[in-house]
Amino acid sequence: ASEEEEILALDFDGVLCDSAGELAESCLRGAEGLFSDGVSKATFPEKNSDERSELLRKMIILRPKIRTGYELVLLARLLLPPPAGFERFPSLDELEKTWPNQREEWIQTLEISKDDLHDALYRARDEWLEKDELSWHQSNRLYPGVADGFRMFPSRIRYIVTTKEAAFAVRILREAGIDESMMPTERVFGLVPGVSKIDVLKRLLKTHGGAKIVFVEDFVTALEDASIVLLGSHIRYCLATWGYNTDKDRKKAELHPFIELLDLPTFTTQIL
């Protein structure tokens, strides 16, 4: 690879795709199944009710605080009244301030496991896809200008590095008209246990020796961690300011020597 060549390593949710609505709905459906009985049983709001819309709204507010989708299944339960024997659950405001610090504690308290949460989410998502694929796709919108960016620069070398399952990411891209030639399936690195985003970046550095990698991510900690582990590597670190991050995150990135803030129009017209 030549020195000038830039290889894109792109996060998916919060960079290419606004999936907060789909994730909240899938997690709420997952929570309805998981917390239908047992120690943490809950009564969930009825479908199409104002209460349900309000619960989904709160879940979307908490989206920047989570790193793995299934956490929102747990948060859906914590946003509802506690079961008998519990004094109180944290408020939305408290969850915004303290999450994910109390995550493990609540998993234990509610007598569930991470696997339970993960399975509840993926079961609900699979069921939704099976019953109503159209509304599922409508809940996974690419950010404005993203599809055009792929079409405008079809030959650019792009990789997707995501904690989402690769098959879901590919499905959303294909539905948006981004075909195999623009974004090859083999360049979509999805959730694989034991393989981190840093591992994928190391692999890309090896594959494309000499090229600069542009890593675009909406989670500031992922950028910070990569910049430490891969110190001295030919990588440009960009925080997607349109994604799932807070003012505090953006200020943190602004003060970081290796991270630059990126806005959506610049991303879609100059980088993507």
- Residue 77: which domain range? 20-137
Q: Are residues 146 and 267 in the same domain?
A: yes
Q: Which long-range contacts (CB under 8 A, 24 or more apart) does 190-198 make?
A: 190/160, 190/162, 190/163, 190/164, 190/165, 190/166, 191/162, 191/163, 191/164, 191/165, 191/166, 197/11, 197/161, 197/163, 197/222, 197/226, 198/225, 198/226, 198/229, 198/230
Point out the domain boundary residue: 104, 137, 170: 137
Tokens linked to 197: 């985003």
Condensed to tens digits (0 to 9), the pLDDT of residues 94-114 reads 999 999 999 999 999 999 999
**Confidence at residue 98, expressed as pLDDT on a 0 to 100 scale:** 93
Do 100 and 27 contact (CB within 8 A), yes or no? no
- 212: part of which helix (H) or strand (E)? strand 212-217
pLDDT along the chain (272 residues), means of 10: 77 98 98 94 96 98 94 98 90 95 94 96 97 96 97 94 94 96 97 92 94 97 98 97 97 98 98 94
- The CA distance from 166 to 53, in Å, is 29
Point out the domain boundary residue: 87, 111, 137: 137
Whether residue 1 is contained in a domain is answered as no
Provide, rounded to the nearest whole percent, the portion of the chain with pLDDT above 90: 90
- The CA distance from 194 to 252, in Å, is 28
Q: Are residues 184 and 248 in the same domain?
A: yes
Q: Are residues 27 and 102 in the same domain?
A: yes
- How many folded domains does the chain comprise? 2
